[in-house]
Structure formats: C-alpha cells, structure tokens
Amino acid sequence: MTSGATDYQPVVSGKENWAVNNGMIPLVSWTPDYYVDQIIAGQADSCLISFAQRYAAWGKRFMLRMYWEFNGNWEKWSKNSNGTLATAAQQIAMWRHTVDVMRNAGMTNASWVWSPDEGGWGRDIAQASYPGDSYVDWVASDAYNWNDPSAWCGTHSGWCSFSDIFHHSQTGASATGVEVSFRGRKPYMVAETGTKEDPTMAGRKGQWMTAMRDAVKSDFPNLYAIVYTDVDYSSLIAGQPNWAINSSTSSLDGFKAFADDPYFITR
C-alpha cells in the first residue's frame, strides 16, 4: 500500500489486517506531503504523530518505507520549499527527525525501511545520506527494466536484466549497489521493480523473470524480499508501461517459475 500524501488513513481500509491474518508482514510506503526543510523544521509533526499513534494503537508489526527515491529529483521529499535539491545532511536530518517524532509518539512496532533509487546509487547523494544503523532496520532500492535506449541500466542502456539494474552490470567482486554495500550490516529488499515486454522478441519478459530467479540465488546473498510492481499502467494512462505479471503467457509462466522455486519458500 502506497501513499505520498496526507489522504492516507492508516488501518482504516483493512488491508493491513488482511495481510497479517494471512501470515504476512505489511509493507507500507508512506510519506507526509511536505518538503524536506519543512519536515526538518517540524511543520509535518502533527501529521507524523497522527500516523504514528494510529499504528501504535493497531499494535501489530509492520514495515514502514518512507521518502523512497529521495536521491532523485522527481519527489517532493527530494526538494526544499524554495525548489533546491536537499543536501545529504538535510536528508539525514529529515529521516532522523521523522523517526524520533514517531517513536516518541509511541510507535515501536515499525521496522524502518530506507529506500533510495538504485539508478543514482554511488553517483549522487544516496550513500552520503544514510541516517545510521540505529535509525534503519532494512535497506532497499527501486529500479525497472524500461527497455529504452535512453534509460539508465548499469553500464549500458536498452534491455536491462535484474543483475544489470541492481548490480550495475557487474558480477562477483566487481558488483556494486545497495545490496552489495550493506551485506553483513542490514537486510536488503528490492522495494519496486518490473519489466516491460520486448516487442521485438516474444517471450523475453518471461526469460527476464527466470533470469531474475537465477541471479538472486547465485549473486544476491543479502536479498530477502522482492516487491514486483504487478500493475498495467498503460490501461490507466496512455503511453505508460505495462509491468503486469500476466502481460503475456511467457511472462506469467516465468514469474511462476520464479515464485515457486523452493529457494524462496525456505529462504
């Protein structure tokens, strides 16, 4: 469940209870609708406290992913109210202030998920913005296979494999990325990913799924969760991508081969 604004009402929809009742730990992506300097100054505190008190009263364990992709330039929480991009020091201050306010409001049942955009990892403020181990329980990152000649993809553009995206097209000791950087320190999850179909090659999306399975098993020892974006945005907005698992028979078969692998059932 995801929200970037104050219209999200925690626990009201029943989705969290449905997840818990079916043996899951909910992952909630939420952030207050304020700029970085405003959050640091305390202008969002009433919103943060209200959110925290609702989840504290709910009382069940959940994961909270805030300020995702802060190292880009497309989110409100990447910027100050005057339009400038926030510095690494400001990003740290925003995160710590948010956690402190929510903890002081009694919310002790959250696991904090820190989630930069993978495409900017190592190339901008992301690494310098880590708020510290006492403020983070999980690290995560987001990235997609856009199958676009202008899209970032490790060391190349175009069709991007899972390893291209999250290990920056490198293997073994040369691999880089959030997963590699936090091995032995914090568990890692892919908080958003997906792939488009390749209109020039039937079955390639399904192959991407099975290649993801094989890469995770062999090269991602610190990866403990993957959130696949199973949404057809093209049905909602013209020109947007279709990430859906069932966009083709081969895609669905490939995902089933990935999800049914015993490695992920016993991990």
Query: Within 10 Å of residue 199's Cβ, how many Cβ atoms?
Result: 8
Cα–Cα distance, 249 to 264 (Å, whole number): 22
Mean pLDDT, rounded, of the chain: 91
Cα–Cα distance, 24 to 113 (Å, whole number): 16
SS (H, E, C) 173-215: HHCCCHHHHCCCCCCEEEEEECECCCCCCCCHHHHHHHHHHHH
Q: What is the pTM (predicted TM-score) of this model?
A: 0.92
Quickly state the pLDDT bin for 266 (edges 50, 70, 90): low
**pLDDT, tens digit (0-9, with 9 covering 90-100), for 222-248:** 999 999 999 999 988 888 999 999 999
**pLDDT, tens digit (0-9, with 9 covering 90-100), for 135-192:** 999 999 999 999 988 877 767 789 999 999 999 888 888 888 999 999 999 999 999 9
**pLDDT, tens digit (0-9, with 9 covering 90-100), for 159-170:** 999 999 999 888
Domains in the chain with CATH codes? 2-266 (3.20.20.80)
Q: What letter does residue 76 receive in the DSSP assignment?
A: G
Residues 6+ apart with CB under 8 A from 160: 145, 146, 147, 151, 153, 154
Helix (H) or strand (E) holding 216: helix 204-219
* Backbone dihedral angles phi then psi of residue 185, each to the nearest 5 degrees: -125, -55
